[in-house]
Amino acid sequence: MARLRLKDLRPGARLPVPLYDDQERLLLNAGIVLSRRNLDRLLARGVSHVRVDQRHAEQLTNDGKAARARRQQLSNDAARSEPQESFGGRTFPIDAFIHQVKRSRGRVPSVDVEQQFDQTIRAAEANVKLLFAEIGASAKIPGAKVKDITVETAEQLAADLDLFMRLGINVDHSDSSAYMHGVRVARLAMSAGTIAGLTRDRLLGLGMGCLIADAGMAAIDRSIYNLPRRLTRSEFLEITKHPGRTFDMLTKVPEIPPDARTVAYQIHERWDGSGYPRQRRGVQIHPLARLAMVADVFVALVSPRPHRAAYSAYDAIRIVLTETSQGRFDPASVRTVLETISLFPIGSIVSLNTGQVGRVVSTNLQDYTRPIIEPFLRGSRDWSGQPIDLLKDQDLRILSAHASLDDALEAISNSPGFEEALASEFD
């Protein structure tokens, strides 16, 4: 996105693309003429700079010195944003957080390393529980604590993205509390934001917004969202008030950046305008909130609710894809989540065309349908510890996903060629 001074915009120019403020909130839609009246209104609102798709920046500025200065600025911006090769064969801007991230890509860590990583994650969850208890008791959001927890989350992610997603996002069905939902949504959204090439600051804004998005639920009668049935219209309308309550709480917290406040407010909006609280649609929704809403729905689907059991991760992804085809989610954001966790999300149990059973341990950015898996050795009843990259071995393909290891083994044992597949494990 190019950043332009408001006074350099050319009156009379028609916007080929939307115009945003510095927090990427929509100011003017594509197709609107930059009339003097529109420019004066923006100036009266305190807008001094705007952001626009860099490809259309120059045509919106005045001729002469300002245009030449803008061309030089664009040249400087391009030099600073020179892409850099990263893992997965993809290039990212030089300031993207992803350059600080490590991935094990299916390599099995030592027991000590995994236990230490898990203890760090559980300690962070305990801190979030205390945070939400404080919010419930005081009706105030301690911004410094929210930021510290989010910074720690980014550090955990950078240590090993694959291990972070496997241990930090998978749902413990014994705990579906609001604070744990926020933790998992923040972790998934930050993982996806990393794959999207966000900078560290924008990634932290995304994480903070997801983490405290449901803080406003503290003012809602708990009996409503714990009902063992679908909510009535009046009950649901009560739930839709919580983003506004969260936003009001956040306006008094200077440590929470504008990006995070907008994410918390818009996380329940939908691409087609069917969400809440304002029925925003399309580009009216902040880019980070578009990513957050996909993470929020996925985590909600794989979590148990009083009126239904949890969906498997694979079934949850299928539901998200179906609803995307119906217009409910931004396709680009859904694709980013798919690239992050794959069509068969990390931790999924799958069966292959060879009769093998495996679990997904990592993803491939080039093809989210061909993740990295770790086979299960039925003879020794243990995981092999030897990951297989389906992107490199094109002869292998996933046939189906299963609810559990036992379900997968039963399905394979009843299929033709079971004995040959079992014997091949000892070749």
Residue 423 has pLDDT above 50, yes or no: no
- Phi and psi at 238, nearest 5°, equal -65, -40
Asked if 165 and 156 count as a contact pair (C-beta separation under 8 A), the reply is no
**Alpha-carbon distance values, 274 to 271, 277, 329, 335, 370 (Å):** 8, 10, 10, 21, 33
Per-residue pLDDT band for 172 (boundaries 50, 70, 90) equals: low
Residue range 313-352, pLDDT digits in tens: 999 999 999 999 999 999 999 999 999 999 999 888 999 9
d(CA 203, CA 193): 6
Q: Which domains does the chain have, with CATH numbers?
A: 2-82 (no CATH), 97-341 (1.10.3210.10), 349-424 (no CATH)
Peptide bond into 375 cis (omega under 30): no
pLDDT of residue 427: 43
pLDDT, residue 372, reads: 92
Task: Answer whether residue 278 shows pLDDT above 80.
Answer: yes
> What residue type is 160 in one-letter code?
D
pLDDT above 70: residue 49: yes
Give the C-alpha separation, 387 to 1, whole Å: 39
At residue 280's C-alpha, the angle toward residues 275 and 283, to 5°, is: 125
Note the pLDDT tens digit of each residue in 225-259: 666 677 777 787 877 888 999 999 998 899 999 99
> Is pLDDT at 24 greater than 90 in this prediction?
no
Average pLDDT of the chain, as a whole number: 84
* 285 against 217, higher pLDDT: 285
Q: Is 162 helix (H, G, I), strand (E, B) or coil?
A: helix
- What is the rounded distance in angstroms from the CA atom of residue 399 to the CA atom of residue 369? 11
E-strand spans in 247-394?
349-352, 357-362, 372-377, 382-383, 388-389
User: Which is more confident, 30 or 214?
Assistant: 214
Q: Hey, what long-range contacts does 307-311 have (CB within 8 A, 24 or more apart)?
A: 307/227, 307/228, 307/229, 307/230, 310/171, 310/173
pTM, full prediction = 0.77
Range 117-129 average pLDDT: 88
